[in-house]
Amino acid sequence: MKRGLKYEESDQNNESKEKMIGTLVIIVLLVVLVPVSIIMTGLIFSGLLGSIIQKNVDAGNEGTELLELSKKDFLP
């Protein structure tokens, strides 16, 4: 009977270790991937919004000295 009991206990220990490893993997993924994905999404959205607004402002100021001054800042 002692052999059977030890065998059952080792099976339960292995199952609990596998569950623990799975839980740790999920926690690490949530801690690492979620913030990074939120930051990357914000970065992409900010870049798109900035380029759209810049084109709109450049079109609105075409023919004025403001457009020339704006482009002067970006030239080397």
Which pLDDT value is given to residue 45? 98
DSSP string for 18-30 = HHHHHHHHHHHHH
Which pLDDT value is given to residue 11? 65
CA 39-45-48 angle, 5° bins = 140
Per-residue pLDDT for the chain (76 aa), expressed as one digit of tens each? 455 555 555 666 777 777 789 899 999 999 999 999 999 999 999 999 999 998 998 888 888 888 788 777 776 6
Q: What is d(CA 11, CA 32) in angstroms, rounded to the nearest whole number?
A: 32
Name the pTM for this structure: 0.56
Which pLDDT value is given to residue 1? 46
- Asked whether the beta carbons of 31 and 22 are under 8 A apart, the reply is no
